[in-house]
Amino acid sequence: MVDAPVESPLALTRRARRTYRILAEHYPDARCELDFADPYQLLVATVLSAQTTDVRVNGVTPTLFARFPDAQALAAADRTEVETIVQPTGFFRAKTDSLLKLGAALVERFDGQVPGRLRDLVTLPGVGRKTANVVLGDAFGVPGITVDTHVGRLVRRFGWTTEEDPVKVEHEVGALFPRREWTHLSHVLIFHGRRTCHARRPACGVCPVARLCPAYGIGETDPARAASLVRTGPRA
């Protein structure tokens, strides 16, 4: 058996960028699917989005933001009221605890404002690097790669990295693309992961980048059956 040729760094970069271009054309509306009006709202919504869908988060945030429109109001919120509002998102007690601590930290340390630096964001309760990159990219225009479950799965399937650690994934994938494209790249990958390249049964037979993907064939390759697997609309 002849081993497959090793892909050079230049060839990998070219393939990665071509894959991204095709996916960006396929998902022209790729964006953050959480509804928000300012950095505070996006930060809160992203914290709530853990282990649930964006649809469910978007269903509760209008009520939450009407009652608690800023960090000061959230810090002074009644725990039971917050729990009642966010209950549909699951793990509502833990999420309420994070939100109350988050509001207090913003007031005490940042004068009620969401900081626009990664090193500050990751010190906030309930905020990790993934959440921080979402807020920086979509609320502040600071490029970042959001390594959620979809992005991590896809970049390994595409052969862009073999790393499992999110920070290492972020750095290796970031090296393949201009920094200005990082945020949109994340959105495009998340759209593809939610709609086509599923974790358990990817729709390989209708994937727009099938011929560029080393993992082609791990899912359904029959076009008709694959098409039935494609999901449409907002999905987390």
**Catalytically active residues, by annotation:** 130, 148
What is d(CA 224, CA 70) in angstroms, rounded to the nearest whole number?
49
- In this structure, the answer to whether residues 181 and 92 fall within a common structural domain is no
- In this structure, the answer to whether residues 96 and 129 fall within a common structural domain is yes
Q: How many domains does the chain contain in total?
A: 2
Q: Which of 139, 157, 178 is the last residue of a domain?
A: 139
Residue 21 sits in a domain whose CATH number is 1.10.1670.10
pTM (global) more than 0.85? yes
Q: In the prediction, which pLDDT does 172 show?
A: 98
Q: Which of 139, 158, 185 is the last residue of a domain?
A: 139
Q: Are 196 and 206 in contact (CB under 8 A)?
A: yes
DSSP state letter for 2: P
- In this structure, the answer to whether residues 178 and 150 fall within a common structural domain is yes
Asked whether residue 232 is assigned to any structural domain, the reply reads no
Asked whether residue 182 is assigned to any structural domain, the reply reads yes
Q: In the prediction, which pLDDT does 6 show?
A: 84
Residue 99 sits in a domain whose CATH number is 1.10.340.30
Q: pLDDT tens digits for 73-117?
A: 999 999 999 999 999 999 999 999 999 999 999 999 999 999 999
Q: pLDDT tens digits for 127-179?
A: 999 999 999 999 999 999 999 999 999 999 999 999 999 999 999 999 999 99
What is d(CA 169, CA 157) in angstroms, rounded to the nearest whole number?
13
The domain of 218 spans 9-30+145-227
Cα dihedral value 204, 207, 212, 215, nearest 10: -20
Asked whether residue 163 is assigned to any structural domain, the reply reads yes
DSSP 66-101: HH--SHHHHHT--HHHHHHHHGGGS-HHHHHHHHHH
Q: pLDDT tens digits for 25-75?
A: 999 999 999 999 999 999 999 999 999 999 999 999 999 999 999 999 999
Asked whether residue 69 is assigned to any structural domain, the reply reads yes
Percent of the chain with pLDDT over 90: 95
Residue 181 CB-half CA count within 13 A: 14
What is d(CA 216, CA 225) in angstroms, rounded to the nearest whole number?
15
Q: Which of 104, 139, 174 is the last residue of a domain?
A: 139
Asked whether residue 133 is assigned to any structural domain, the reply reads yes
